[in-house]
């Protein structure tokens, strides 16, 4: 979504014309460092799961899907910074065909990061629901083959949707579709949580006898969801304001925080691996084994 993701100049100009709020600029070096950290951390998560057969369960496969989404959210900024550096050095022709194609690829990576995170969190939520309320049938319902098939469908849909959104990025319905996925995910997970709460009230004794790992997984999902909302909601709001009230002083005042909102997205990819490691003894053990091998 070229006119939204790469709008530093437009946002600044709009804010200066219609708002007294100063544009908040952050050093590009900060973006680059946080992006590198996000890529490395999530890569470690992926390697830990790949190298440890005990972690190759449906739950951790969904976690890997979320880690890939976070990594894309960090990687797009690294690629963008490298291209800007090459352009400033004169190796790329400004507004040339290669730069336009590279922008489309970067935008697709960004959209994939959001879509992948949304559907990975939804998959984890459904997985936790089945773990808690259908514990005895869990291994027959959630098999590795079904998990891989689900992930294949999710990422095929995300890739197709990401490409379509970039192609039609200048159309308002596309922006609305992109922005509406965020609240729709929240509504679905909220409904799932309410249903889980109502079931829990009627099955208190059964819930209390579940292994602690099952409940720990549900709490981990809640933390991941909270961090995701905190990091992405400001940018989603920015998209809506940029589309519907770009000249309103109050809107442009909020849009002066564009780079801060972008930084929050970068931070999401850095925070999530710490949540996995803090909440999962299995992952911590895998990290220790990987360090000892090194």
When comparing pLDDT for 189 and 148, which is higher? 148
Per-residue pLDDT, averaged over 241-247, amounts to: 84
The torsion angles phi and psi of 55, rounded to 5 degrees, stand at -95, -5
| pLDDT per position as a tens digit, 155-204 | 999 999 889 888 887 778 888 888 888 888 888 887 877 777 676 666 55
Give the burial string for 74-104 (b: 16+ CB within 10 Å, else e): bbbbbebeebeeebeeeebeeeeeebeebbe
**What pLDDT score was predicted for residue 70?**
92
Q: Cα angle vertex 64, ends 283, 200, to 5°?
A: 75
**What pLDDT score was predicted for residue 270?**
92
**What pLDDT score was predicted for residue 12?**
40
Question: Is the CB of residue 263 less than 8 Å from the CB of residue 30?
Answer: yes
**What pLDDT score was predicted for residue 258?**
87
**What pLDDT score was predicted for residue 116?**
92
Query: Which range in 14-18, 67-71, 137-141 is most confidently predicted, on average pLDDT?
Result: 67-71
CA–CA dist 250, 220 (Å, integer): 36
**What pLDDT score was predicted for residue 277?**
80
Q: Where are the domains of the chain?
A: 32-288
Topology at the third CATH level for domain 32-288 = Rhopdopsin 7-helix transmembrane proteins (1.20.1070)
Both tokens of residue 80? 């963008």
Per-residue pLDDT, averaged over 90-97, amounts to: 69
**What pLDDT score was predicted for residue 17?**
46
**What pLDDT score was predicted for residue 6?**
53
| pLDDT per position as a tens digit, 1-24 | 554 455 443 444 444 445 677 888
For residue 289, give the nearest of 67, 51, 60 by alpha carbon.
51
Judge whether residue 105 has pLDDT over 70. Answer: yes
CA–CA dist 100, 121 (Å, integer): 32
| pLDDT per position as a tens digit, 251-293 | 888 888 888 988 999 899 999 988 888 778 888 888 877 777 7
CA pseudo-torsion sign 159, 225, 269, 179: positive
Give the burial string for 183-208 (b: 16+ CB within 10 Å, else e): eebbeebeeebeebeeeeeeeeeebe
When comparing pLDDT for 198 and 214, which is higher? 198
**What pLDDT score was predicted for residue 292?**
74
**What pLDDT score was predicted for residue 14?**
41
What is the rounded average pLDDT for all residues in the chain? 81
| pLDDT per position as a tens digit, 21-44 | 788 888 888 888 899 999 999 999
Beta carbons within 8 Å of 216's beta carbon, 6+ residues apart: 279
């Amino acid at each position: 979504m070229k006119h939204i993701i790469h709008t530093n100049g437009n946002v600044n100009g709009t804010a200066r014309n219609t708002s007294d709020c100063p544009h908040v600029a952050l050093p590009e070096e900060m973006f680059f460092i946080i992006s590198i950290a996000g890529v490395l951390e999530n890569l470690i998560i992926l390697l830990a799961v790949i190298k440890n057969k005990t972690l190759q369960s449906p739950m951790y496969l969904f976690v890997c899907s979320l880690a890939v989404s976070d990594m894309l959210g960090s990687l797009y900024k690294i690629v963008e910074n490298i291209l800007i550096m090459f352009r400033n050095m004169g190796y790329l022709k400004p507004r040339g065909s290669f730069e336009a194609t590279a922008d489309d690829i970067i935008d697709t990576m960004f959209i994939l990061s959001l879509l992948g995170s949304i559907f990975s969190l939804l998959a984890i939520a459904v997985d936790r629901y089945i773990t808690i309320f259908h514990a005895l049938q869990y291994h027959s319902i959630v098999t590795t083959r079904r998990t891989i098939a689900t992930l294949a469908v999710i990422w095929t849909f995300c890739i197709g949707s990401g490409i379509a959104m970039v192609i039609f990025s200048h159309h308002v319905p596309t922006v609305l579709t992109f922005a509406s996925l965020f609240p729709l995910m929240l509504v679905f997970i909220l409904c799932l949580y309410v249903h889980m709460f109502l079931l829990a009230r009627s099955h208190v004794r059964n819930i209390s006898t579940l292994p602690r790992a099952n409940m720990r997984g549900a709490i981990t999902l809640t933390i991941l969801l909270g961090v995701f909302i905190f990091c992405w909601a400001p940018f989603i709001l920015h998209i809506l304001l940029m589309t519907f009230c770009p000249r309103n002083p109050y809107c442009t005042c909020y849009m002066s925080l564009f780079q801060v909102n972008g930084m929050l997205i970068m931070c999401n990819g850095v925070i999530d691996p710490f949540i996995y490691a803090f909440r999962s003894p299995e992952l911590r053990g895998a990290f220790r084994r990987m360090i000892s091998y090194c």
